[in-house]
Amino acid sequence: MRSGEKKPDLDSDLSKRLLGGRPLSRRQFLKTAGVAGAAIGLGTGVGGLLAGCGDGGSSGTTGASGDVIKIGIMGPMADPTGMNVLRPAEMMIKKINAAGGIIGKQIEIVGPIDDHWETAQAITAYETLLKEGVHVILSGSDDNVESALLSRIGQNPDVLYLSMFASTQGHMVNVRDDYEKFKGYFMFTAIDDGLYYCVEEPAIMLKEKFGWNKAYMIREDMVWTEGIEQYFKDSAPQKGFEIVGIDVVPLDVEDLTPYFRNAEKAGAQMIWTMISVFGEKLANQAWDSKVPIAMFGHNGILNDYGYWERSNGAWGPMATTSTWGSLEKHSPEWRDFLTEWFTTYSDDPRTPMWLGECTWRGIKAYQEAVERAGTIETDAVIKELEMTYYPDAPVAGGFYGPGEGIWPHTWAMPIDEAERAKADPTRGEGLWMSSTLNPMTQWQPKEIAPADSFVLPGTPDDYGRLVTIWPPALAGGEYQLPPFFPESPNA
């Protein structure tokens, strides 16, 4: 030992730290590893609890008041999903209040309360909002989480629950079969069959253009995709597609390469993706793996403006429910709203994914319903909400009431195209279907995107363009083959 060097303290040396100097026994290791496993498993929950401290409650004045309309916000708020409910609400409510409110009443935002994608915390969030005396809840909770809220929603029919995320048909069975209990529930995302057909329709377009007919489905392991798989099995063969495989992917998937490989080995020419959570991961990995198969579907946050930068321009797969592609084709109202959103916030999400557009429709629909009713009394507002119809919305459609069709209170549209153009189309049994008009979009490099694509102010010149390729009314360009496709002109 060198002079001046501290003598080791044998009382506190490592052998003592090694559990009293004894060998690390199997039981001790198991005990510790077991606690570790439990802690990891609970990690998100604990993190959620920690993160949840301090949120919730009213962000403005508290206490019920006849002059205030309280709108509660809940959802996964640390995620772009929740922000797609909060941001449009903040922007729109600020404007509504500045213009004098709705029928003279100011709107107060209660929350947002984070559900952390978890059932228990969503129940707490929902009940907290009820205690705060909200009149309306704008919810970004996902299908699985919302399933657990349904019984509570049924017990509180006087509080409007505007669902922005969920699409599960099973939720709407409640409204159809037990209207009085569930009259306050409105689903702004298209119900399952609408979400299916807004993928199948562009698939038909690609089949006709490229001759591709071998279809493969990759769906996330969530309740909403189960119904869609059934539609796929039933409908796709009738439209001339050969189903060559289906994969169900867990939500916490890391590596999607094996699924791409399965599709390649099955001879797939198209991969239909039904994903709300890991679409961005899928797009990145498909680009890196150079998967020469057209890939498109509900890829969730792949739609967001920041994707191009985050992914270093990985533009292979397409995403539907993207409501800000080819903005030059949209109504000035929506384009202006998007521009305002983009310039108001400097961090992602700077443009909406589908929930953002749902929330925009939701707040507009509520405002107009209250103004038409002249009151915030729930039954009167519900009756007016059931008359909502927006032919100019990015996802055109509206609601109908009980006795007017199969799925009252789901976002739907007339089957007859001529009827769709009317401000107040005829409602009735067999006349409407779930809206299939979610736009299918593809990120394209500036060099191959249409030159007249609308560019949000401040976008870097070399940034990608989000181009809508379907439906025809909103399409600003055509599908471009990624450079690693054998026949691609963009190689």
Q: How many CA atoms lie within 13 A of 427 on its CB side?
A: 20
3-state helix, strand, coil in the chain (%, to 5): 40, 15, 40
The answer to whether the beta carbons of residues 393 and 425 sit under 8 Å apart is: no
How far apart are alpha carbons 486 and 257 in whole angstroms?
19
How far apart are alpha carbons 196 and 219 in whole angstroms?
12
Residue 76 vs 184, nearer CB to another protein: 76
How far apart are alpha carbons 223 and 453 in whole angstroms?
36
Residue 261 vs 422, nearer CB to another protein: 261
Residue 215 vs 277, nearer CB to another protein: 277
Residue 323 vs 367, nearer CB to another protein: 323
Q: Describe the crossing of helices 80-98 and 332-344 by its angle, rounded to 10 degrees.
A: 110
Give the type of residue at 402.
P
Residue 127 vs 264, nearer CB to another protein: 264
The answer to whether the beta carbons of residues 365 and 376 sit under 8 Å apart is: no
Cis peptide before 349, with omega less than 30 degrees from 0?
Answer: yes
Residue 414 belongs to what H/E stretch? strand 412-414
Question: By C-alpha distance, which of 373, 366, 345 is closest to 458?
Answer: 345
Give the type of residue at 301.
I
As given in the structure block, the two tokens for residue 287 are: 């680009």
Closest separation between CB of residue 302 and another protein, Å? 10
Closest separation between CB of residue 294 and another protein, Å? 18
Residue 51 vs 148, nearer CB to another protein: 51
Tokens 């102010």 sit at which residue? Answer: 457
Tokens 């769906």 sit at which residue? Answer: 219
Closest separation between CB of residue 313 and another protein, Å? 9
Closest separation between CB of residue 88 and another protein, Å? 17
Closest separation between CB of residue 483 and another protein, Å? 11
Closest separation between CB of residue 91 and another protein, Å? 19
Which strands sit side by side in the sheet containing 68-75, from one edge to the other?
106-114, 68-75, 136-139, 160-163, 185-187
Residue 174 vs 262, nearer CB to another protein: 262
Residue 241 vs 305, nearer CB to another protein: 305
Closest separation between CB of residue 309 and another protein, Å? 9
Closest separation between CB of residue 199 and another protein, Å? 22
The site for another protein (CB under 8 A) is made up of: 1, 5, 8, 10, 12-19, 21-26, 29-30, 32-33, 35-37, 39-40, 43, 46-47, 50-51, 76, 78-81, 83, 221, 248-250, 252-255, 258-259, 261, 277-278, 280-281, 284-285, 288-290, 301, 304, 306, 310-312, 314, 348
Residue 200 vs 304, nearer CB to another protein: 304
CB burial string 326-352: b at 16+ within 10 A, e below: bbebbeeebbebbbebbeebeeebbbb
Phi, psi of 57 (to 5 degrees): 80, 175
Residue 236 vs 295, nearer CB to another protein: 295
Closest separation between CB of residue 405 and another protein, Å? 34
Give the type of residue at 278.
F
How far apart are alpha carbons 253 and 260 in whole angstroms?
13
How far apart are alpha carbons 66 and 456 in whole angstroms?
40
**Three-state SS letters, 53-75:** CCCCCECCCCCCCCCEEEEEEEE
Closest separation between CB of residue 111 and another protein, Å? 18
How far apart are alpha carbons 46 and 241 in whole angstroms?
46
Closest separation between CB of residue 264 and another protein, Å? 9
**3-class secondary-structure state, position 51:** helix
How far apart are alpha carbons 448 and 481 in whole angstroms?
10
As given in the structure block, the two tokens for residue 462 are: 């070399």
Closest separation between CB of residue 231 and another protein, Å? 23
Residue 41 vs 403, nearer CB to another protein: 41
Residue 290 vs 422, nearer CB to another protein: 290
Burial of 357 (0-12, 13-18, 19+ CB in 10 A): buried
